[in-house]
């Protein structure tokens, strides 16, 4: 696919994954052209099958740790396993994806003059000593732990992005994505929402770690995609926190899901994984003020939609 001057050509890396496929749906429904790159480590073709016969869509099986040459206007760089089970499966590959993959995509953006958006993560804050987390907080990350391949990988990806901006005047945007959930999450990805729903649907005891009182803030996928699109369209580089600032304990989440599934509460407690953050809540003042963005879907609505998705799997 080459550039069509009458239309924006979007490259979405990791486009067959959870967030990537929702982003592609939104771009395709706007009538834009989309090239999806994915190596299908965690992505799935079934997430994109509705676009296979559309002339505006192209799917390329490719590992972004290897260079590729394409002509595009915008690069949405979402490729990287994001759940602990998947990014710890091959930690060296995870680090390579964040460093070499980002380096290759930034190089492409420089060559063709494309806008570049990096899907970074709240994990760059580590186990935070500042709560809630504003973009100015530099984080508390273990550089040699089992989560480091992802946490430090995303930190170097941010570094590369801003170095390309400073050195080559590249139009970069960095989104720090907090916990996001919704349809197309993988049932075996080890994330807390999918874990609890799947265990509940099987009427198994729900697994909680530590005392279950660690907190997270859950953003529904539609809201997150709105934020990414607003950021790409803004005259803004970031980093920008995108997440829902409503904080909830994991045990409260498990109680809500149990109630929605109409099952009795059954919990088992295990040791907290190493370096697992105890608190997570974004400050989204920058997104509100500069993007006019705030999450609209509350946890009750979002969980209903997510539970229905998993029921129909």
Residue 227's pLDDT is: 98
Residue 4's pLDDT is: 45
Going by their DSSP bridges, the two strands 215-217 and 172-177 should be labelled as: unpaired
Nearest CA-CA partner of 277 in 137, 112, 85, 142: 142
The dihedral region occupied by 212, where left means phi > 0, alpha psi between -120 and 50, and beta the remainder, is: left
Q: How far apart are CA 251 and CA 16, in angstroms?
A: 31
Mean pLDDT of 149-166: 96
Place of tokens 């407690």: 269
Mean pLDDT of 200-224: 93
**167-197 CB burial, b ≥16 within 10 A, e <16:** eeebbbbbbbbbbbbbbbbbeebebbbbbbb
Residues 6+ apart with CB under 8 A from 169: none
Contact indicator for 197, 310 with CB cutoff of 8 Å: yes
The answer to whether residue 275 scores a pLDDT higher than 90 is no
Domain ranges of the chain: 9-182+219-244+279-293
Residue 85's pLDDT is: 75
Residue 181's pLDDT is: 96
Mean pLDDT of 169-179: 97
The answer to whether residue 6 scores a pLDDT higher than 60 is no
Give the residue, 276 or 286, on which the prediction is more confident: 286
List, for residues 76-93, the tens digit of each pLDDT value: 999 998 777 777 878 999
User: Nearest-5° angle of CA 33, CA 24, CA 190?
Assistant: 155
Residues 6+ apart with CB under 8 A from 154: 80, 98, 120, 121, 123, 124
Give the residue, 306 or 6, on which the prediction is more confident: 306
Residue 2's pLDDT is: 45
Nearest CA-CA partner of 193 in 218, 162, 160: 218
The answer to whether residue 3 scores a pLDDT higher than 50 is no
List, for residues 231-250, the tens digit of each pLDDT value: 999 999 999 999 999 999 99
Contact indicator for 126, 141 with CB cutoff of 8 Å: yes
The answer to whether residue 137 scores a pLDDT higher than 80 is yes
Mean pLDDT of 108-119: 98
pTM of the model: 0.93
Residue 82's pLDDT is: 76
Report percent pLDDT > 70 for the chain: 98
Nearest CA-CA partner of 223 in 238, 194, 243: 243
Residue 193's pLDDT is: 94
Give the residue, 88 or 113, on which the prediction is more confident: 113
Residue 151's pLDDT is: 94
Residue 7's pLDDT is: 84
Residue 264's pLDDT is: 87
DSSP code per residue over 41-75:
SS--GGGTGGGTT-TTEEEEE--TTS------SEE
Nearest CA-CA partner of 90 in 39, 139, 128: 39
- Residue 309 catalytic? no
Residue 84's pLDDT is: 75
Active-site hit among 103, 150, 181, 220: 150
List, for residues 31-55, the tens digit of each pLDDT value: 999 999 999 988 899 999 999 999 9
Q: Name the token pair of 73.
A: 């206007």
Nearest CA-CA partner of 281 in 124, 82, 128, 81: 128
Say which CATH topology domain 9-182+219-244+279-293 has: Rossmann fold (3.40.50)
Q: Which alpha helices (H) appear in the chain, and where do they start and end?
A: 18-29, 84-89, 91-96, 102-112, 148-168, 192-201, 221-233, 250-260, 285-291, 299-311
Give the residue, 166 or 278, on which the prediction is more confident: 166
């Amino acid at each position: 696919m080459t550039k069509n001057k009458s239309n924006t050509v979007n490259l979405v890396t990791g486009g067959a994954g959870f967030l990537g496929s929702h982003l592609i749906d939104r771009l395709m429904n706007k009538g834009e052209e989309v090239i999806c790159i994915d190596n299908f480590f965690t992505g799935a073709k079934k997430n994109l099958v509705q676009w296979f016969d559309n002339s505006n869509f192209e799917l390329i099986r490719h590992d972004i740790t290897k260079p590729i040459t394409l002509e595009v206007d915008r690069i949405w760089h979402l490729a990287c396993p994001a759940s602990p089970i998947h990014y710890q499966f091959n930690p060296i590959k995870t680090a390579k994806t964040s460093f070499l993959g980002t380096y290759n995509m930034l190089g492409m953006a420089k060559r063709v003059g494309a806008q570049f958006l990096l899907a970074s993560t709240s994990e760059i804050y580590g186990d935070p000593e500042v709560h809630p987390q504003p973009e100015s907080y530099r984080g508390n990350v273990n550089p040699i732990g089992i989560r480091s391949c992802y946490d430090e990988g995303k930190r170097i990806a941010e570094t590369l992005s801003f170095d390309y901006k400073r050195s080559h005047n590249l139009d970069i945007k960095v989104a720090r994505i907090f916990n996001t959930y919704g349809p197309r999450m993988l049932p075996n990805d080890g994330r807390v929402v999918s874990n609890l729903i799947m265990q509940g649907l099987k009427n198994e005891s729900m697994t909680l770690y530590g005392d279950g009182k660690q907190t997270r803030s859950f953003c529904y996928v539609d809201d997150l995609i709105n934020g990414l699109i607003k950021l790409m369209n803004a005259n803004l580089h970031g980093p920008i926190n995108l997440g829902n600032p409503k904080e909830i304990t994991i045990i409260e989440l498990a109680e809500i899901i149990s109630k929605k599934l109409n099952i009795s509460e059954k919990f088992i407690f295990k040791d907290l994984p190493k370096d697992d953050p105890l608190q997570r809540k974004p400050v989204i003042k920058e997104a509100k003020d500069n993007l006019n963005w705030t999450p609209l879907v509350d946890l009750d609505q979002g969980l209903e939609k997510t539970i229905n998705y998993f029921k129909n799997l």
